[in-house]
Amino acid sequence: MISWQPIIDDVAREVSPHIGKGKVAAYIPELARVDANHFGMALCTPDGRTYCAGDASIPFSIQSISKVFTLTLALQLVGDDVWKRLGREPSGSAFNSLVQLEQERGIPRNPFINAGAHVVTDIILSRLQDAKLKVLHFVRGLCNNSSVVFDLAVARSEQATGFRNYAMANFLKSFGNLNNSPDAVLDAYFHHCSMSMTCVDVARACLFLCNSGILPESGECVVSPALTKRLNALMLTCGTYDSVGDFAFRVGLPAKSGVGGGIIAVLPGHFSVCVWSPCLNESGNSLAGTAALELLTEKSGLSIF
């Protein structure tokens, strides 16, 4: 068995020159207030062990990592019908681009760009009453932590400034690809993005992705092994903004990042790992977080390749 703790400790030590390099996302004003010098890492294995370094227990804004949870829930609710309204190809453009949506007549390229997540949120809203809270409870159940909350200051900050998201949701509506009102979809979407979780919470919540869809602690089936394979494939090909190729080249793991500086990555059969450091590289992925994951796969000799 691999001794993870010394590897994680080495990674945290070697990554330290990268911490604070890059830029904190400032387009959501509340996110700009975070201390840029945080770094945390938590790795969970399906046998119930957790290995941590740095600020692994400090909550951060998960932002687009929430797209993994909402897609999982939508797949639970409607299965393959999701793909009637969404593509599954890398976008090759910015996560909030309007141009591609126009060219492709309101069908978002994939569920991990913003427009895709709006459609996923719309699906959940149409199926569940009080969808916002249902998503929160779903995530709490995945990580077995009832103290996960929406950070209302972050949600309100985005509600006040998310003009591009409003444009996109209205655009989707004009193409007939939203059933609910753009305001209702965005209210839920901004709250999902505002979930405040620690690296330990996020890594635990994604253990099912490295365990054939099953929560190891309770034995509960979240999604089938076939859907788990698909979620991981989407993370590999669409999960890290417009640099999925470079990320796969460097890290070699399915992953999803968020503008809060978090990245979740999984190695099916082995581990889920969450890193968090708020400063982002030019593609929008955590700069130190990406470096840490690259070091992790190099030092352990484990990746999907």
Q: How many CB atoms within 10 Å of residue 23?
A: 14
**Size of residue set near ligand GLU by CB under 6 A:** 10
Catalytic annotation on 67? yes
Separation of alpha carbons 27 and 279, rounded Å: 13
Of 35-54, binders to ligand GLU (CB under 6 A) are none
In the stretch 191-220, what mask flags binding to ligand GLU with x, by CB under 6 A?
--x---------------------------
Catalytic annotation on 241? yes
The SS3 assignment for 112 reads coil
For ligand GLU, the closer of residues 95 and 247 by Cβ is 95
Catalytic annotation on 189? yes
For ligand GLU, the closer of residues 9 and 246 by Cβ is 246
For ligand GLU, the closer of residues 114 and 297 by Cβ is 114
Report which of 7, 87, 89 is spatially closest to residue 273, judged by C-alpha positions.
Answer: 7
Among 259, 264, 267, 288, binds ligand GLU (CB under 6 A): 259
In the structure encoding, which two tokens stand for residue 68, read together? 């993994």
Residue of 82, 154, 189, 223 marked active site: 189
Catalytic annotation on 259? yes
Q: Quick check: 63 binds ligand GLU (CB under 6 A)?
A: yes
Q: Quick check: 22 binds ligand GLU (CB under 6 A)?
A: no
Q: Quick check: 258 binds ligand GLU (CB under 6 A)?
A: yes
Among 45, 157, 165, 211, binds ligand GLU (CB under 6 A): 165
DSSP letter, residue 65: G
For ligand GLU, the closer of residues 8 and 242 by Cβ is 242
Residue of 222, 241, 273, 275 marked active site: 241
Among 114, 281, 300, 303, binds ligand GLU (CB under 6 A): 114
Separation of alpha carbons 242 and 292, rounded Å: 19
In the structure encoding, which two tokens stand for residue 257, read together? 């990042």
Separation of alpha carbons 15 and 277, rounded Å: 11
The SS3 assignment for 279 reads strand
Residue of 82, 135, 259, 275 marked active site: 259
The answer to whether 46 and 210 have CB atoms below 8 angstroms apart is yes
Minimum distance of ligand GLU from residue 259's CB (angstroms): 4
Separation of alpha carbons 198 and 191, rounded Å: 17
Catalytic annotation on 78? no
CA 172 vs CA 70, 110, 128: distances in Å: 18, 14, 21
Among 4, 69, 95, 276, binds ligand GLU (CB under 6 A): 95
Separation of alpha carbons 184 and 194, rounded Å: 16
Separation of alpha carbons 144 and 158, rounded Å: 27
**Catalytic residue IDs:** 64, 67, 189, 241, 259
Q: Where do contacts with ligand GLU occur on this chain (CB under 6 A)?
A: 63-64, 95-96, 114, 158, 165, 193, 258-259
